[in-house]
Structure 1
């Protein structure tokens, strides 16, 4: 395996294991065994497990950014319809019936944000980027007249993002899709319909 391929392979293994099991429950031995990489090679690329987890988190955020680009930038579809489809896909991919449940950003926020400044900063940046992408779609809806001119896109995007993350967390606790269905209903059938 070439150097870059080894690093990328380790990150892909970490993405799968840490997302499905969590940071604390994923041991270095599991990562090394799954990747079939010696310990020395791991530490050649990553000075610590925390630094490794941060790189895994960046890879996850990059993948989710690409999903957002693909689904939210398609101007052939009305902005609020795009946004609704986007959240429906996230629920399908990360909801209680998915192979791996939960958003990695949310999961690692609960697990690491209070204990690691570098991870907390990365989580904050990832959520801010995500919120900005959602705000752009809401701004477009405003410009089309689909939302009132008084709408504050950044704040509304933050509210939607926070509501989704909370509903996803609750759906894990309840082992039910109902909190996510409630999120979709109140966000799109009530909140975003008002003022139209």
Structure 2
């Protein structure tokens, strides 16, 4: 088995610690301790926490069910979209409402103060929205969604609604906002 290099350990630990403690609540010492590497090794791989935050966004996307569930053309498009959000909702519930979407967390916490993080988040949200728009376009092709629906606008609305529902679920420590998201998105808009 290949040994995980120090950079990979730092990114994985950074993702976990940032996700749990937030950007400002996390120190370099927290990250290196979680990674099991000496503190000095952090600066051999990253200029600072912002650079690590950018790397953690990339790791988050690569480990997310976003691509897999949305790209799997075996199922009906709207069923795949529903399953995608079901998995994301379950992750939040399993964490007892403490680990929302790290992209949303970073957007709320540091996007105003870090251009590299903001630019990475913009690209990440755009990529996710485009995947959802592609699934919605598939739904149009099979007649499951009105042909006059602007799939790009709808995908943006869905992502924005999801991120708002996550933020509220974390604040209230319950799933009511998630239930509302599912009821309106899949029970009204995509019915």
TM-score by length of 1: 0.91
Q: Is the 8 A contact 2:136 2:151 kept in 1?
A: yes
Aligned-partner SS, 2:167: helix
Is 1:98 aligned to residue 95 of structure 2? yes
Aligned-partner SS, 2:190: helix
Once the two structures are superposed, residues 99-122 of structure 1 have per-residue CA deviations (whole angstroms, 9 ceiling, x without a partner) of: 542100000000001101111000
Deviation (angstroms), 1:78? 0.8
Structure 1: state its 5+ residue gaps: none
Once the two structures are superposed, residues 67-99 of structure 1 have per-residue CA deviations (whole angstroms, 9 ceiling, x without a partner) of: 12221222221111111111111100124x425
Q: What is the Cα-based RMSD across aligned positions, in Å?
A: 1.6
In the comparison of the two structures, how many residue pairs are matched? 189
- Partner Cα distance (1:68, 1:30) in 2: 28
Q: Which residue of 1 aligns with 2:187?
A: 189
Is 1:37 aligned to residue 37 of structure 2? yes
Pick aligned residue for 1:141 from 116, 139, 142: 139
Is 1:155 aligned to residue 153 of structure 2? yes
Once the two structures are superposed, residues 2-30 of structure 1 have per-residue CA deviations (whole angstroms, 9 ceiling, x without a partner) of: 99611101111111100111000011111
Is 1:127 aligned to residue 125 of structure 2? yes
- Partner Cα distance (2:83, 2:3) in 1: 39
Structure 2: state its 5+ residue gaps: none
Distance 1:46 1:152, change over 3 A: same
TM-score by length of 2: 0.93
Is 1:74 aligned to residue 72 of structure 2? yes
Q: Which residue of 2 aligns with 1:47?
A: 47
Q: Which residue of 1 aligns with 2:111?
A: 113
Q: Which residue of 2 aligns with 1:17?
A: 17
